[in-house]
A and B are shown apart, each in its own frame.
Chain A
């Protein structure tokens, strides 16, 4: 018997190794007394090390593990977005009730596990690594959603996400089975080959496979009409986790969306392009209209996420270098805009009795200007107002869509943006224009039977560095890339060139 030692590029898989070691160390640190409180620090170190190793591989595309993974600039840029979001999540999770309840070590190692899945997913070029990565990403998230063990909403969120996510995964897997059945290949390039070789252009087998894979991915990226779980899960999950989920999951899922549809199914463009365009349009309408009536900020951001996913799907639809670049740009901008908003929500949740209700930010402009500004910038950026990264991102997306002969979808984005102003500006108005009629913070409400969960955990949360810092930083970056977008454009164009260059 012969044994062929596989060639392993250790430099290429070093980010994955760093994350895996990080998971083990963080998990073990929590069960020994002297290192009990080290989990957030160790997690940050692991994330920083991974980011460093990824940046080291920048502009040096390579295929890893016999073609199961491809580490190119698209993978790296998406991974960096995920890691950055996870870093924010770690800071926002300091003093979070969910972290205490679930155990700091478990919480943080699950977070790292999810990041590992995302880094893998962004590199996946094989159905098997694709699916394994997707599950590695999802399973820790299901648990993280439910980490606020004493709140029913959190448990509900975890269970809902588990069930809906499993349906999404199952659908995706079924679609993959069809593609494999038709082409006899699991790696993306092999699927494209198989379709050409077996003359399967437009074959029902392949079409069913594409449709089911698209549906599975739409579940993960919360694209309407597969978005119903999004508001509930976002609202129930601990807010730092919601922030992480909203941004990082979307980034990783869109990376594989691009790679899968470009490399494996690029030849079937005419079949799936109109379908995805329709999904994007539905998403934009459903998300924006759904967000209008929401009083809970997290639900509102959930629906807004659906709409934003619709905008971003436009970047996949056109399947071009500019489409990919604009999608990556938008994802990076979206990360900062969303993180600023979620940081403020985390702070207000802890210091007021209103949780994530819009009443929590009433009068914020006079009470806590350092939180009001980031939230204002975030809302304006999400709405796509000029001088923010959100505006530049939408501009690039629309440009790519027009270039790719999907002008009507660009019109949808413009209309969606107009609708979205209504609910984004409502938050801004609540912050700056409403007089503080009700007791928003500090004093405990005189409500009989108020549960300890409803009480503010920390009346000064809104002035803590680990809330104000991330909020200000994310907002500052949003404005910075709105005025000087060049560095981020450069970053995103590398990602586009990786797939099409």
Chain B
């Protein structure tokens, strides 16, 4: 820090100081998160020294019966991914309509309406494209 004081750094230091909350936040996040993760480990039931087939089954929701199917390496169909991505895209874009909605009444202008229509038309173009390309078909 002293380096910057020497170069008339009356602006540089305050800028660095504004990063302090971020540091505090990172520290708090790591500590609290870490503590909770550790608590589980410290207070939770201990595993038996030697893992057997029986002890493994004890950890499952239904102790007796066939093994629960979806294992860790479960594969999701890529369609889920596609639909989720499209949802996020359109969902986020629609958020842009809210600010216009808020001022629409006060603004009372054709310009705002025009902007809104332009925006919706652009969304519509994307929607038609996605639809015609068959991205919405569940295969």
Chain A residues proximal to chain B, CB less than 8 Å: 1-3, 5, 8, 20, 24, 27-28, 31-32, 181-182, 198-200, 203-205
Contact = CB atoms under 8 A, between A and B. Distances in A.
A3 B4 contact: no
22 contacts: A3-B103, A3-B107, A3-B108, A3-B109, A5-B109, A5-B112, A8-B111, A20-B122, A27-B129, A28-B128, A28-B129, A31-B128, A31-B129, A32-B132, A181-B15, A182-B11, A198-B11, A203-B8, A203-B9, A203-B12, A204-B9, A205-B11
A8 to B, nearest CB: 8
Given A24-B122, A27-B125, A203 B132 contact: no
Nearest to B128: A28
Contacts of A24: 122, 125
A205 B8 CA distance: 11
B133 interface: yes
Interface in B78-132: 103, 106-109, 111-112, 122, 125, 128-129, 132
A204 B4 contact: yes
A182 B4 CA distance: 14
Contacts of B133: 31
Interface of A is mostly: loop
Counting chain B CB atoms within 10 Å of each CB, the highest count among A27, A200, A204 belongs to A204
A32 B7 CA distance: 64
A203 B11 CA distance: 9
Contacts of A203: 7-9, 11-12
A129 B12 CA distance: 26
Interface of B is mostly: helix
The 6 closest A-B pairs by CB, nearest first: A31-B132, A3-B107, A24-B125, A1-B106, A5-B111, A181-B15
Given A2-B106, A5-B111, A31-B133, 10 more contacts: A3-B103, A5-B107, A20-B122, A31-B129, A32-B132, A181-B15, A182-B11, A199-B8, A200-B11, A204-B4
Contacts of B8: 199, 203
A205 B12 contact: yes
B137 to A, nearest CB: 14
Contacts of A20: 122
B106 A3 contact: yes
Counting chain A CB atoms within 10 Å of each CB, the highest count among B8, B11, B15 belongs to B11
B108 to A, nearest CB: 8
Counting chain B CB atoms within 10 Å of each CB, the highest count among A3, A27, A199 belongs to A3
B109 A1 contact: no
A24 B121 CA distance: 10
Interface string B35-55: 000000000000000000000
A3 B113 CA distance: 13
Interface string B9-25: 10110010000000000
Contacts of B7: 203-204
Nearest to B7: A204
A161 to B, nearest CB: 22
B61 to A, nearest CB: 42
A20 B122 CA distance: 9
Contacts of B106: 1-3
B102 to A, nearest CB: 9
A138 to B, nearest CB: 19
A20 to B, nearest CB: 8
A43 to B, nearest CB: 16
B136 to A, nearest CB: 13
Nearest to A8: B111
Nearest to B121: A24
Nearest to A20: B122
Nearest to B15: A181
A1 B107 CA distance: 9
A181 B11 CA distance: 9
A204 B109 CA distance: 47
A20 B118 CA distance: 11
Contacts of B9: 203-204
Nearest to A6: B111
A28 B12 contact: no
A181 B132 CA distance: 46
Contact of A205 (B15, B108, B125): B15
Contacts of A200: 11
A198 B11 CA distance: 9
A5 B109 CA distance: 8
A199 B108 CA distance: 44
Nearest to B18: A181
Contacts of B129: 27-28, 31
Nearest to B111: A5
